[in-house]
Amino acid sequence: MVKHNNVIPNQHFKKKWQFRVRTWFNQPARKLRRRQARAEKAAKAFPRPAAGPLRPVVHGQTIKYNAKVRLGRGFTLAELKQQQQQQQQHRGSFYCLHLAGSPDALTAKSTEAGIPAKLAPTIGISVDNRRRNSSLEGLQANVARLKAYRSNLVIFPRNANKPKKFE
């Protein structure tokens, strides 16, 4: 029996309802098609990474998620930074960090990858100008990530007779 102010069930089914039923028998074939398309795309992009540009490892925002790490939008300019002169100019507020220990603890080797910011997107590294580093550990983890990527990277010069610095 129907309770409250609801419609009394009195459905008028069509005679050939079987034709109106949506089936999912094409699901396994669709899965295979998607997989083949991904493999094709990866083969076309080879030797570039199939997952798109390299992205930094960042922590989530709120208390619920900040224990987990995820991929961010792009690397900071500090992570990409290539010139040691800029480091000495901003020694007082280096990377906007106030960490325990002397400023010399932040050495050039551990905190910079040596990739110009304008070159980075052209070699498959995403850059985010707005992001700031809030911890030295995160900065060093991303620099290590960049250096590992850079060590496996092979750049062919556009002009074989006059290769540029990074080619």
Q: What residues make up the domain containing 72?
A: 47-82+115-155
User: Does 10 score more than 70 pLDDT?
Assistant: yes
The model's pTM is 0.63
SS3 assignment for the chain: CCCCCCCCCCCCCCCCHHHHCCCCCCHHHHHHHHHHHHHHHHHHHCCCCCCCCECCEEECCCCCCCCCEEECCCECHHHHCCCHHHHHHCCCCHHHCCCCCCHHHCCHHHHCCCCCCCCHHHHCECECCCCCCCCHHHHHHHHHHHHHHHHHCCCCCCCCCCCCCCC
- The verdict on residue 87 lying in a domain is no
Report if residue 71 sits inside a domain.
yes
Query: Is residue 99 over pLDDT 90?
Result: no
pLDDT tens digits for range 11-68: 888 888 888 899 999 999 999 999 999 999 999 988 778 888 999 999 999 999 999 9
- Tell me if 102 is assigned to some domain: no
pLDDT at 102 (0 to 100): 40
Work out the average pLDDT over 116-145. Answer: 92
Q: How many domains does the chain have?
A: 1
In a domain, 127, yes or no: yes
